[in-house]
Structure 1
Amino acid sequence: MVKAAWERQEAVDVSVDAVRLEELARQILIEIGEDPTREGLRETPRRYAKWWKEFVEYDAGKVDTLFESSTLGQTVMVSGMTVWSLCEHHLLPFSCDLTVAYKSGGVLLGLSKFARIAHKHAHKLQVQERLVVDIADEISDITGTNDLAVMGRGEHLCMTMRGIRTPSTMSSSIFRGVFDQSERARAELFAQLGVK
């Protein structure tokens, strides 16, 4: 099966040229009929460049802290994580509430690492479908388990603020291993989430 371009995307270390971004922000302000020298906008190009630098150069820190465990096969689930990303089609933000579950196989991933991994993959131009896959891939690589699920529910400002202008929630998920093959495992997961 041929992978889509977004499935083949690899992480690239990027350094932001803040001076160039400030120039571009000034140009955008001029193009939309604003005066970048007026009160209220004078610092906007600098803030714009700083924000992009923070977004693109985000450092998740250590994401692979593992603990030995004798709880083989136990379902571990972390939910309620909210990340913000940018839609790669319109450069508008989307928020995504994430739930990650996996079956432990002798090692446990440190609790804060789920959020670090989620933010790491949200801090780039994204689509929600790829975001859940990226998170699943990294957790699988670190823990060595293929028994995992990642679910996301997001609101996308590219739909809320433009075009159809209709707030809505998009859900995307990936189920692997036992969560893909076993209705019982999925039912347990949904029960813990309060989904009927």
Structure 2
Amino acid sequence: MTLADLPQESTVRDPLESVARQLLVEIGEDPDRSGLEDTPRRFARWWREFSNYQAGRVETHFPLRTDGQIVMISDITVWSLCEHHLLPFSCVLTIAYKPADHVLGLSKFARIAHRHAHRLQVQERLVRDIAEDIAKVTETDDVAVIGRGEHLCMTMRGIRTPALMTCSVFEGVFREYGPPREELIKIAFPGN
């Protein structure tokens, strides 16, 4: 009997499932033990869900004259993955803009934020990318984004201390210290 005569087990596997199986082996686990046998499949499905996120339409505008109003959306929470350690971080966002002659649909802010969060990221770039996208779709340079994030790469490893990192982008009327920026800070950091 030769190798060709033996029944061949299918070795065609989802590449992400193979990565998960190898990871389990490398950390001393048995990927075939009860409780882990479906983990590679779930791992692969999650990574695809995360990285293939479709935000949907983000350009929905409504004509509205706001007479200099500032529109702020706060407490948008997104999850992303630190590109340095592949560990999650959560980021709570406050977004503000001064509309011109139309306003952006409310859900579009969260869609834009999630679109940028669903990839390997660093918080500073996440906040910058969201600000640039908001400016583009609202057609105004008067945009600000503040992000406060907890990074599990700091909380779970290394120093093992929870902390919040805050970063911001201030453009247009928000760039200089004054009433628009002060109003935004009061909303983003209540009680301070």
Q: Which amino acid aligns with 1:112?
A: S
Q: Which runs of 5+ in 2 are unaligned?
A: 1-12
CA contact (8 A) 1:129 1:172 kept: yes
- Where in structure 1 are there 5+ consecutive unaligned residues? 1-17
1:82 and 1:188 mapped to 2: Cα distance? 21
Alignment-derived partner of residue 45 in structure 1: 40
SS of corresponding position for 2:24: helix
Q: For the Cα contact (< 8 Å) 2:81–2:119, is it kept in 1?
A: yes
1:177 and 1:132 map into 2 onto residues whose CA distance is 16
- TM-score normalized with structure 2 length: 0.90
Structure 1 vs Structure 2 CA RMSD: 1.2
Residue matched to 1:181: 176
Distance 2:67 2:53 in 1: 34
Identical-residue share of aligned pairs (%): 63
- The residue aligned with 2:141 is 146
1: CA distance, partners of 2:38 / 2:29? 13
In the alignment, structure 1 residue 99 sits paired with structure 2 residue 94:
yes
- In our comparison, the structure showing a higher alpha carbon Rg is 2
* Mapping for residues 185-196 of structure 1, pairs under 5 Å: 185-193=180-188, 194=190, 196=192
SS in 2 for 1:166: coil
Runs of 4+ in structure 1 over 6 Å off: none
Q: What residue in structure 1 maps to residue 126 of structure 2?
A: 131
- TM-score for the superposition, normalised by structure 1: 0.88
Equivalent-residue separation in structure 1 for 2:25 and 2:148 (angstroms):
37
1:26-37 alignment runs, 5 A limit: 26-37=21-32
Number of residue equivalences: 179
Q: What secondary structure sits across from 1:181 in the alignment?
A: coil
Equivalent in the alignment of 1:66: 61
Is this contact kept in 2: 1:72–1:103, CA < 8 A? no
Q: Tell me by how many angstroms 1:181 deviates.
A: 2.3
Distance in 1 of aligned mates of 2:157 and 2:176: 39
Aligned residue for 2:74?
79
Paired residue type of 2:72: M
Amino acid in structure 2 at the alignment position of 1:75: I
